[in-house]
Structure 1
Amino acid sequence: MNGRPENWERRLHLAAHPFAYPLLRGVARRGPVVRVPGVGVVVNDASLARGVLMDGETFRKDGPGSPGDLWTPVLGPSVLLNMEGDAHRALRRRLTDLFTPAYADELCARVLAGPLDRLRARLADGAPVDLVDAARVMAGAVISEVIGLDLSTEREFRRLFEQGERVVSTVSLRTRRLSPSQIRRARAVLDPLGDAAAKAYAAGDETTVMGRMRTLGLSEGEARGAAGAFFLTGTETVATFTPRLIALLADSGLLADAAEPDGFLDRAIDEAMRFTTPTPVMLRSVHRAAAIGGAAVRPGDRVLIATHNCCRDLGPFDPGRPHPPELRRLWFGAGPHFCIGYPLAAAQIRRVARTVLDAAPLRIAGRSAARNVLIPTYRRLTVRAAGGAR
């Protein structure tokens, strides 16, 4: 490897978080568990992080300094990302079959057929393609289908993505609560989406996500909350990752390998997820006295799982290296809060990446880093198929 993957990824992180990222990486050198004033108890070790995530009784998402503090005023009290205990387990059981791999793949195949055909044609013509914009359009198309919106054009999909981006951009790595004005702005975006989700829920069409929620026994309020949670947590994560995946493969000289139908792409996606860590930190609130790796924590303490530090500890980007068990898809969580939308994200990423890679040989024609965003990403990543028509 030539080192460029690490260099560009560092640029993305520094552009997104010029002060917080050096602090985060500096804390990693202080040990597996570090108490940082004003931040909380930072966990930098994958095994310890997995232990925290698996213990939903001690380390919760609904206490002070947790995601519940952040999102409950916007999404309501009954969404998976701000629940614990029996209520969380009951809702999780009802949602278990919502995004099966087969259903997720069928949904993406149907929804992305048109956008992917247009992307494929542009690449075949040798036209420059901004993968950042393309990924946003794809993410907007999929989440539109999930919520039950009646959107059909790339302009509409792009605008939907931008609405979510505006909400998420109000959050930084240090944010504990949204201000009243931030809550009002978020509700102005999310309430109409909730109305659309409620309409799809009432229609009860079992081919739609909201209709399936009704069949699975969720209430209308739970369906509205789930739609908002999917919109906030899934759209930007997938859209920001896909250009970074292609850039990592290009900078490592592995685009040709990823284009081969031998399973390499799936391994490359997992490794790129590990290396980019689309969820760089996860938050928990301590519910009862405990210890993390010998470090005592008290009720009310805020635990910041530095997922990025845990994942980067394995080393440079290398799709040929297996992941140890404690690291397996840690970026999607673990235990009772493992991301329920993972199959949908994986299906979307795989289809978009395969379409791009099928146009190989590719070259990166230009790129720049996005600034002041929550999830590090490219502002622009332009690629061109070297073998396309002119």
Structure 2
Amino acid sequence: MTSARPAAEPLAYPFAAEKLNLAPLYERLRREEPLARVQLPYGEPAWLATRYEDARLVLGDPRFSRAAAVGRDAPRVRPYAPGPGTISTFDPPEHSRLRRLVTKAFTVRQIDRMRSRVQQIADELVDAIRAEGAPADLVEDFALPLPITVICELLGVPFEDRGDFRLWSEAFLSTTKYTLEEIKGYRALLRDYMAGLVAERRTAPQDDLLSSLVAARDNDDRLSEDELLSLAESILIAGHETTATQIANFLYVLLTRPEHLAALRADLDQVPQAVEELLRFTPLGSGSLQPRYAVEDVEVGGVTVRAGEPVVVAINSANRDESVYTGPDQLDLRRHEATHIGFGHGPHHCLGAPLARMELRIALRTLLERLPGLRLADAEQDVEWKVGVSTRGVRRLPVTWEVR
């Protein structure tokens, strides 16, 4: 075990990388310095866990706390720090209490019940794409409206307001796109909007998740008003933004690897396994940048993390760990190895993972079935990318296909 504190200056983090590539530095760190000292754009320095087993330890071990970050100048990529009362800042048992309130909406059984409706939405979007004709922007015409429609119907948010909460979501994820004052303003608008929906559900409950949360607040006293609003906001943002980004990114990965695309199109029964490999292979952001603070001294990657020190997890690096995966930097749509941690691990494992998996599977299969010869409409280098936000992804993805 190494207990000496590092003398070198912390590495600037996140590491620079273009498009969906990973910085080569991750490989060196996994090999030589699996727990490295880093400095994020905001907050105090942190340890960075880059190996698979170390990542699972930090994400799943109760000796690492999310709640301990509240009130600290926590390491972060965005200019603001989450305040108390959001589900991401709780540890069990408080975290478990809030999570149980929404678990029923995301069980495998409930997701199976939603499958036909999600397929219907996907088919209607493709119908519109085919009717309009090529080229189509798969981000605006498919990747975004699919999960937005699903989460609106599940939570109980009017679909016609999607333009507003898309803007608010983008501000929530902003690293440099918006100023701190702009972010605070958009967050206030989101809070007012959600408070208005809650007030409507109090007078006219509906068959949706928001009404269930209101009942849990008013009838059972199982959460505070701030917790109710924060939970609803988190579900709205996380329920569409990451899935939309993943749909577009997965399509980009496949469209720029024609041999993989052709193999998958020839055997669509492989789509579920392909989705798992794409979740492992495709970076969504810089990793789990919600820091965990050690509540006691813990050995991680041969280094002693002292009580009170924060650790951030490079999920993208952990999912490329050569000690776990064969040829980790190669896309293998038939891979059957260790479970990836693309949805996280431990108490904060993504609550909506079953829904996201189902949407991703339906999205890929529907597009490959119904848009024969799907390919990029422009040169690969002309694909537009998001800038100034914490999620890495395609902003526009023009495509064409064969008309039959």
Q: TM-score range by the shorter chain?
A: 0.7 to 0.9
Distance in structure 2 (CA, Å) of the matches to 1:168 and 1:201 = 30
Q: CA, structure 1 residues 223+126, in 2 after alignment: closer, same or farther (shift >3 Å)?
A: same
> Taking CA–CA contacts closer than 8 Å with sequence separation of 6 or more, which of the two structures ends up with the larger relative contact order?
1
Distance in structure 2 (CA, Å) of the matches to 1:336 and 1:84 = 8
Distance in structure 2 (CA, Å) of the matches to 1:34 and 1:170 = 23
Confirm or deny: 8 A CA contact 1:290 1:298 kept in the other structure: yes
**Structure 1 equivalent of residue 5 of structure 2:** none
Distance in structure 1 (CA, Å) of the matches to 2:202 and 2:285 = 30
**Structure 1 equivalent of residue 264 of structure 2:** 258
Helix, strand or coil at the partner of 2:399? strand
Report deviation, 1:115. 6.0
**Structure 2 equivalent of residue 365 of structure 1:** 377
Distance in structure 1 (CA, Å) of the matches to 2:202 and 2:359 = 23
Distance in structure 2 (CA, Å) of the matches to 1:181 and 1:287 = 35
Alignment of 1:161-310 (within 5 A): 161-170=166-175, 179=180, 182-200=183-201, 203-205=204-206, 207-214=207-214, 218-219=222-223, 221=225, 222-252=227-257, 253-259=259-265, 263-282=269-288, 283-310=291-318
Confirm or deny: 8 A CA contact 1:131 1:380 kept in the other structure: yes
Q: CA, structure 1 residues 164+319, in 2 after alignment: closer, same or farther (shift >3 Å)?
A: same
Q: CA, structure 1 residues 376+86, in 2 after alignment: closer, same or farther (shift >3 Å)?
A: same
Q: Give TM-score, length-normalised by structure 2.
A: 0.78
Confirm or deny: 8 A CA contact 2:50 2:313 kept in the other structure: yes
Distance in structure 2 (CA, Å) of the matches to 1:197 and 1:349 = 30
Report deviation, 1:24. 5.8
Report deviation, 1:377. 0.8
Alignment of 1:321 with 2:327, yes or no, is: no
Alignment of 1:138 with 2:176, yes or no, is: no
Confirm or deny: 8 A CA contact 1:72 1:82 kept in the other structure: yes
Q: CA, structure 1 residues 233+23, in 2 after alignment: closer, same or farther (shift >3 Å)?
A: farther
**Structure 1 equivalent of residue 165 of structure 2:** 160
Helix, strand or coil at the partner of 1:263? helix
| Higher helix fraction (1 or 2) | 1
Q: 2:351 aligns with which of 321, 326, 340?
A: 340
Helix, strand or coil at the partner of 2:36? strand
Unaligned runs of 5+ in 2: 1-15, 322-327
Q: CA, structure 1 residues 110+40, in 2 after alignment: closer, same or farther (shift >3 Å)?
A: same
**Structure 2 equivalent of residue 98 of structure 1:** 105
Q: CA, structure 1 residues 126+257, in 2 after alignment: closer, same or farther (shift >3 Å)?
A: farther
Distance in structure 2 (CA, Å) of the matches to 1:200 and 1:24 = 48
Could you tell which deviates more after superposition, 20-29 or 220-229?
A: 20-29
Helix, strand or coil at the partner of 2:307? coil
Helix, strand or coil at the partner of 2:106? coil
Distance in structure 2 (CA, Å) of the matches to 1:355 and 1:124 = 16
Larger Rg: 2
Report deviation, 1:31. 2.4
2:255 maps to a residue whose letter is A
Unaligned runs of 5+ in 1: 1-8, 15-19, 173-177
